[in-house]
Structure 1
Amino acid sequence: MAPNGLGTEAWWAAVLAGTSGIGPLTRFDAARYPVKIAGEVDGFVDTDHLPSRLLPQTDRVTRLSLAAARQALDDSGCDPAALPAHQAGVVTASSAGGFEFGQRELQALWSKGGQHVSAYQSFAWFYAVNTGQISIRHGLRGSSGVVVTEQAGGLDALAHARRQIRKGSHIMITGGVDSALCPWGWAAHLAGGGLSRVNDPTRAYLPFDTAASGHVVGEGGALFVLEAAPAARARGARSYGTFTGYAATFDAPATVDTPLTADGCRLADAARLALADAGLNTGDIDVVFADAAGTRGADAAEAAALTALFGPHGVPVTAPKTMTGRLLAGGAALDVAAALLSLRDQVVPPTVHTRDLADDCPIDLVTTARPARLRHALVLARGRGGFNSAAVLSHGPGPH
């Protein structure tokens, strides 16, 4: 579920074509706000994806999540009802929960009184609501959970799901979807800082560029069906690739307002640990999907981490999120989807809009789709507050 495409193949075609989904906000009147653009998921009709009984109890983010989960299960060819009881679960990542639902019920509370607040407010706003609703709809009664690590969440959810597979679960639905494009959510985005104040969609979000001035917020993400490779092979499942390595580290800033710099950034450590988990060396990585924060300090810090790992211009680097904006918990999950499809099609998707690479970012930034021999991809993600996560995706079904 992405601002530049609904469904896997439509989105992937848009990514390879360099088609951006960033544009003027339409979900509410943003005329009085300093930032007026975002990456909105367009063309999603709730009633096409959900039964009417679910509409009163779900936020937009949950509706997007339910649709993504249904498509992932259909694509996997797996019928959860045919599995042993308690052997299928859900782990999702979330940063905002049902923010728009919460705003609506708060408005009812203060304008009309408590008797007008929906009983569904008790759970529809919650971070774990996507996990819960997916589990209920598909009868997934196995181990489930939610992680809240902002932009790093999509990778952390996959790692948690992998642990459940190793403990004996047959399948896990995992990944992340986020959406907080409403006035209350927008106030939080603005207060958090980091948003570009440039309202030209082609010049607002420019990671690694000399003109980088912040990021653009988007909504959406991706969900996956994760299972052990032998089980997938046994049932003839289509495999997009293997989740072969993961690690997470944490940066502890001196103060909340301290900008991220190369000093003290442990992103490179996360990548090294993920490579060790995968049993690979830096020379085995054929493409990096960057976190691409879009601020000068954070971009320089990530470039320094990449240079420390691979050397200057040592590996192709891309940031397809320049076509969607940063999707909070959905961002890294969508990058995993891009990495898997890159491995499938042997092509590196482009970074759009970045034109003038900064001198302190000596990386091989891919700006047009580039055919390449791809075996292993590294996905990097950083969440607000010091979270660093790294994942390695590999071509083929893998041994484990």
Structure 2
Amino acid sequence: MTAVVAEHAGLIGERGVSAAVTGLGVVAPGGVGTEAWWAAVLRGDNAIGPVTRFDAAGYPATLAGEVVGFVDEDHVPGKLLPQTDRVTRLALAAAAEALRDADLDPAGLPDYSVGVVTANGAGGFEFGQRELQALWSKGPRHVGAYQSFAWFYAANSGQISIRHQLRGPSGVVVTEQAGGIDAVAQARRQLRRGVRAVLTGGFDATVCPWGWTAHLAAGGMTTRQDPVRSYLPFDADASGHVVGEGGALLVLEDGDAARARGARVLGTVEGCAATFDPAPGRGAPRLLDAARLALDDAGVEPADVDVVFADAAGERTADRAEAEALAALFGPYGVPVTAPKSRTGRLGSGGSALDLVAALLALRDQVIPPTATGGRVADDCPVDLVADGPRPARLRRALVLARGRGGFNAASVVRGAH
């Protein structure tokens, strides 16, 4: 099995690729825009609260991480509103910010030199629900033609490509919470093949009755009503996770090309890897393998990592498994660990992309953002959890981990520009 894991990691991320991050775009619970979101994270703002996008009173889980203050018309042309789901509108806003932040104008580059690879785990759930309601309540003539693509996982990549004339290699990755990292790894492969730049990351938005029903069926959601004590990764009082919406996009460029145009480089994606868990009862989870392979892909050792952005499931068994993997790699309490998603919720494909952005900003500002906690890290989770406010630290590299439903594991090593 080890050979298969190593082979898969080689397909996803390949050693020696210089993938410079030159732009960031964020639309997530806590802030619309990268710097607004990051400031909220460092303040320790809690973006989790009662669901407002639909009446959740009849559901056992009633909390979500929602994007507040996002006005569709401010970010999306009117002609696109009838043909896009909320998730695509959020992604379009982040794409515009990321390209602007990178000071990259695709129109000034050769055709086919800029691509887009995004991750999406659910498609346009809200759009699909609305059209299905029209079908069953009014009949097929009331289902719009846009249903043919607005619900699709690749809608974000397609609409971003059209909007910004990105004619290079495009695609979509569907690996749930691991998707953001997997998309970045796929974008890195495209750079290795000669593409100049790739807009990449992940978004999901499933805060609607149809999406909520799917999340409840999958399990793992907390049913607590108190937002402050709802999602507590690695805590002795952990009871499950909270679902959120949103995500992040990054502009990845060939390092030489970025330097040649005088671009500001925020950091470098040094390594990526992915593994699959075996079927239940047939072996241990392979998050640790993904982490080791990502370090190997980056050509670094565990001692070279200064902070870990954890997957942080918020469920006791899964938290214990991740803590054991970290202890095996770094030693018990061997490296600072954080999970800023504890104040935004788990964003599906957007979660690990947002964690990559958080890691890059932490490396930029030399500070580790805090994790929400109930006050006591579980005894069976020997991690140095950053929980009592931001922690200043000398940071060179970060390891970002993610696990997606279905057995997907992903890991990435990013280095700061310092």
Q: How high is the TM-score relative to the length of structure 2?
A: 0.92
**Offset of residue 355 of structure 1:** 1.4
What's the CA shift for 1:204? Answer: 1.2
The corresponding residue for 1:372 is 393
Q: Which residue number in structure 1 is paired with residue 78 of structure 2?
A: 52
Tell me what 1:62 maps to: 88
- What residue in structure 2 maps to residue 286 of structure 1? 306
Counterpart of 2:378 in structure 1 is 358
For residues 56 and 285 of structure 2, what CA distance do their matches in structure 1 show? 35
Residue 132 of structure 2 corresponds to 106
Contact 2:64–2:345 under 8 Å retained in 1 = yes
1:115 aligned onto 2:141? yes
8 A contact 2:274–2:410 mirrored in 1: yes
Matches of residues 10-25 of structure 1 in structure 2 within 5 Å? 10-25=36-51
Task: Give the aligned partner of residue 203 of structure 2.
Answer: 177
- Aligned: 1:295 with 2:315: yes
**Cα shift at 1:265:** 1.4
Q: Deviations over 1:339-386 (max 9, x none)?
A: 000000000000013411111101100012000000000000000111
315, 328, 350: which one aligns with 2:348: 328
CA distance in 1, matches of 2:182, 2:193: 17
Partner of 1:137: 163
Is 2:235–2:373's contact at 8 Å kept on the other side of the alignment? no
Other structure's SS at 2:190 match: helix
Alignment of 1:140-289 (within 5 A): 140-254=166-280, 264-289=284-309
Structure 1 residue 389 corresponds to structure 2 residue 415: no
CA–CA distance in structure 2, aligned partners of residues 396 and 274 of structure 1: 19
The separation in 1 between residues aligned to 2:73 and 2:81, in whole angstroms, is 8
Residue 221 of structure 1 aligns to a residue whose secondary structure is strand
Match of 1:339 in 2: 359
Instruction: Give 1:254 deviation, angstroms.
Output: 2.0
Alignment check: 8 A CA contact 2:323 2:381 kept: yes
What amino acid does structure 1 have at the position aligned with 2:204?
D
- What letter corresponds to residue 68 of structure 1 in structure 2? A
Per the alignment, residue 150 of structure 2 pairs with 124
Quote the Cα distance in structure 2 between the aligned partners of 1:104 and 1:382.
30
Q: Which residue of 1 aligns with 2:98?
A: 72
Cα deviation for residue 278 of structure 1 reads 0.5
Query: Greater CA deviation, 301-310 or 79-88?
Result: 79-88
Unaligned runs of 5+ in 1: none
Amino acid at match of 2:398: A
Give 2:108's aligned amino acid.
A
- d(CA) in 2 for partners of 1:303, 1:353: 15
Mapped to 2, the partners of 1:197 and 1:182 lie a distance apart of: 17
Measured in 1, the distance between the counterparts of 2:278 and 2:298 equals 26
Distance of 2:327 and 2:365 partners within structure 1: 27
- How far has the Cα of 1:153 moved from its partner? 0.2
Matched-pair contact (CA < 8 Å) for 2:116–2:161: yes
Secondary structure of the corresponding residue to residue 300 of structure 1: helix
DSSP 3-state at the match of 1:35: coil
Backbone CA RMSD of aligned residues = 1.0
Check the 8 A contact 2:233/2:372 in 1, yes or no. Answer: no
Shift of residue 87, structure 1, vs aligned partner: 1.1
Preserved CA contact (<8 Å) 1:25 1:36: yes
Task: Report deviation, 1:303.
Answer: 0.2
On the 8 A contact 1:208/1:354 being kept in 2, the answer is no
- Cα distance in 1, alignment partners of residues 339 and 266 from structure 2: 20
* SS, match of residue 291 in structure 1: coil
Question: Deviation string for 1:109-155 (max 9, x for gaps)?
Answer: 00111011010000000000000000000111111000000000000
The count of residues paired between Structure 1 and Structure 2 equals: 391
> What SS does the corresponding residue of 1:186 show, helix, strand or coil?
helix
How far is 1:253 from its partner?
2.7
Contact kept? 1:346, 1:373, Cα under 8 Å: yes
Inter-partner Cα distance in structure 2 for 1:362 and 1:315: 10
Determine which of 123, 127, 151 is the counterpart of 1:97.
123
- Secondary structure of 1:355's match? coil
**Cα contact 1:207–1:354 (8 A) shared by 2:** no
Contact 1:245 1:393 in 2 (8 A): yes
Give the structure 2 partner of residue 317 of structure 1: 337
Is the CA contact (8 Å cut-off) linking 1:349 and 1:366 kept in structure 2? Answer: yes
Does the 8 Å contact 2:231/2:240 carry over to 1? yes
Between the two proteins, what is the percent identity of the paired residues?
A: 69
